[in-house]
Amino acid sequence: MKSGKLLHFKNLKQYRDETNATIDTNYFSIALKNMKDGFAERFEQFKTNKSTLAFIVNPLNTSTNEINIEPFGIDAGSLQMQLLDLKTNDLWSGKFTELKSKLEELEEQKCMHIAQHKWTALKEIPRVEALIFAARNSLPECYSEVKKLAYGVLTICGSTYSCEQAFSCMNMIKSKVRSQLTNKNLESCLKLKTSYKPDLIKLSKGMQSQCSH
């Protein structure tokens, strides 16, 4: 966009070429930067916990010092010993090498189907989480803390219901006529809509009743 060539904005380029219009690329560059910064701020937690999320797929190259185990009730010492044993055991570590290869194959299939617009075939591809669960379930109970951490991370996104509900509420709150809401105000509104439960009895006791005349 900054170069003015519009290589990745075909419709805008076509409009400029057909009408000889002057495109303010600086305006669009600033808008794109603001959008990028907004996404980075909104999903900052995913970035800071990148190693924790990567653990479920590739535990062999993950250091326990980089993993946030606090929310899952994991014993740090046991996890370190189990992970060390897992990395040196060819039988069980091979499960994750195989898993990585399968996930790479899935991504190649997805890219191929998307490029060919084969949307029905795309739905028939095995789900990523199913492969991850299969690899974790194959581990014996001597790796209990490793499995517990993986299941804990997976269950964060295990159900899309809460996520879909939050997005539906967000779309109602941040409508076209309220598009300038800040992230902080939007978050407060979402909390009121999705998780706030007022104590109506306590509130009613604190109100002065109005008798009809």
**Sequence letter at residue 183:** N
Interacting residues of 65 by C-beta distance below 8 A, sequence separation 6+: none
- The secondary structure of 94-129 as a DSSP string is HHHHHHHHHHHHHHHHHHHHHHTT-HHHHHTSPPHH
Q: State how far the Cα of 80 lies from the Cα of 63, in Å rounded to an integer.
A: 9
Q: Model's pTM, two decimal places?
A: 0.51
172-181, 189-198, 204-213, range with the lowest pLDDT: 204-213
Cα atoms in the Cβ-side hemisphere of radius 13 Å centred on 204 = 3
- Per the CB < 8 A criterion, the answer to whether 32 and 119 are in contact is no
Q: pLDDT value at position 210?
A: 65
Say which residue, 117 or 155, is predicted with more confidence. 117
**Sequence letter at residue 132:** I
Q: pLDDT value at position 158?
A: 53
Q: What is the pLDDT of residues 11-28, one digit of tens each?
A: 888 888 889 888 888 888
High-pLDDT (> 70) share of the chain, %: 92
